[in-house]
Amino acid sequence: MLTIYLPAILAGVRTNLEVALLALLLAVTLGLIGAVLKLSASAWVRWPAQLYTTLVRGVPDLVAMLLLFYGLQIICNLFTEAYGLTQWDINPFIAGVLTLGLIYGAYFSETFRGALLAVPSGQVEAGLAFGLSRFQVFSRILFPQMMRFALPGLGNNWLVLLKSTAIVTMIGLQDMTWLADQAGRATRQPFVFYMVACLLYLVLTACSQYALSLLAKRFSAGVRYAEV
């Protein structure tokens, strides 16, 4: 039975990775914007970013996904009914990417904020004094050092995000977990197929940890640590 359903479950891994990577791209973008806004001198700029991170981090991932998926569907239904249009159905894939991106963007904003604060401000001032543009200061001075401080937090959040893709099965997306669940129901061997999904997630997280270790070495190049 396992050999019959295994190819379909492996195909579901691609769906999980696509959701995770697109959500990561959105989360990093929102995280950088949120971090910059939270470090602004203007309270009018800081408060929206603070409100975003506080609200999002206070709502469970599953609840947020269900609210976004069904909430957007209700809004679309009301709009199409009001104007006599054909009903629009929310795509579970898009809903999953948006929800996870919004959720982890809040966490990433705190990670980036702490990393930005860890970079000595004098280096930025020195770059500007040498005539570098703000973009050059960010790309050549601030970003490489910020990433060294941010990578541990980013790596941890990425692993959690990757595992959180399992909840997209609750909105009907045929990912690895959904396919494993269907196979378990059809064969009456749920433990076997849930264990397969578990092992596949372990493989994905192990590969991610290896890639993160390479990134950490890349951004720590030239850094000398004190000998104990």
| Residue 209 falls inside a structural domain | no
* Within a domain: 74: yes
- In which domain, by residue range, is 23 found? 18-173
φ/ψ (deg, to 5) at 9: -65, -40
Pair of tokens at residue 121:
């401000």
Element counts in the chain: helices (H) and strands (E): 9, 0
Is residue 214 in a domain? Answer: no
Would residue 198 count as lying in a domain? no
Helix ranges (H only) for 43-142 are: 43-57, 61-83, 92-118, 121-129, 134-137
Q: Has residue 84 been placed in a domain? A: yes
Residue 190 CA, chain-centre distance (Å), reads: 29
Q: What is the CATH number of the domain that holds 62?
A: 1.10.3720.10
Judge whether 97 lies within some domain: yes
In sequence order, the 6+-apart residues with CB closer than 8 A to the CB of 197 are 9, 166, 176, 177, 180
Whether the model pTM is above 0.85: yes
| In-domain check, residue 70 | yes
Q: How many domains does the chain have?
A: 1
pLDDT score of 24: 96
User: Is residue 178, in this structure, part of any structural domain at all?
Assistant: no
Reading the chain (228 residues) residue by residue, the pLDDT tens digits are 677 888 899 999 999 999 999 999 999 999 999 998 998 888 898 999 999 999 998 888 889 888 888 888 888 888 888 888 888 888 899 989 999 999 999 999 999 999 988 888 788 888 888 888 878 888 888 888 888 889 999 999 999 999 999 999 888 888 999 999 999 998 989 899 999 999 999 999 999 999 999 888 887 765 655 444
